[in-house]
């Protein structure tokens, strides 16, 4: 289904031709300028009062402290776990790829399939 943009443009311009201007009420410009003058800057409009701000800051501090403690405890637990691994297991991990490849060679049917 293709859209005929030329016809759409013609319809839009026809609708715009039927547009009727609305005259503003007297004193509109003065009221508009007064409202602009009364507006606060954006940083003042979004500022929070201290009774609202204090609980939010306390909750943020608790959240950050809890997250930091959780990360630190995970780090120390991992460090303890890694330091408790015997040297023999570290050697096995260092040669993991070789050991994994030996398990493939032990499967005699795979070797027989390759020879055929």
List, as one string, the DSSP characters of 54-77: HHHHHHHHHHHHHHHHHHHHHHHH
| Average pLDDT score over residue span 39-48 | 70
DSSP H helices in 1-116? 5-17, 28-38, 42-45, 50-83, 87-94, 96-105, 108-115
Question: Taking the alpha carbons of 50, 52, 58, 60 in that order, is the dihedral positive or negative?
Answer: negative
Q: What percent of the chain is predicted at pLDDT more than 90?
A: 16
Separation CA 10–CA 3 (nearest Å):
13
- Is pLDDT larger for residue 115 or for residue 58? 58
Whether 59 has a pLDDT exceeding 80, the answer reads yes
- Which pLDDT value is given to residue 20? 80
Tokens (6 digits) for 48: 């929070």
Can you tell me which residue has the tokens 């390759």? 114
- Is pLDDT larger for residue 100 or for residue 71? 71
- Which pLDDT value is given to residue 21? 80
- Is pLDDT larger for residue 60 or for residue 52? 60
Separation CA 40–CA 27 (nearest Å):
22
Whether 95 has a pLDDT exceeding 60, the answer reads yes
- Which pLDDT value is given to residue 6? 87
Tokens (6 digits) for 62: 């608790």
Separation CA 17–CA 41 (nearest Å):
39
> Mean pLDDT across the chain, nearest whole number?
78
- Which pLDDT value is given to residue 53? 78
């Amino acid at each position: 289904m293709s859209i005929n943009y030329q016809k759409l443009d013609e319809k839009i311009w026809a609708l715009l031709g039927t547009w009727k201007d609305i005259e503003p009420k007297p004193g509109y410009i003065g009221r508009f300028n007064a409202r602009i003058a009364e507006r606060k800057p954006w940083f003042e409009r979004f500022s929070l009062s201290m009774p609202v701000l204090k609980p939010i800051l306390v909750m943020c501090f608790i959240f950050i402290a809890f997250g930091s403690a959780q990360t630190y405890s995970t780090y120390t637990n991992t460090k303890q776990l890694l330091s408790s691994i015997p040297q023999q297991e570290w050697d096995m991990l260092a040669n993991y790829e070789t050991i994994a490849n030996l398990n493939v060679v032990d499967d005699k049917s795979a070797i027989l399939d390759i020879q055929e």
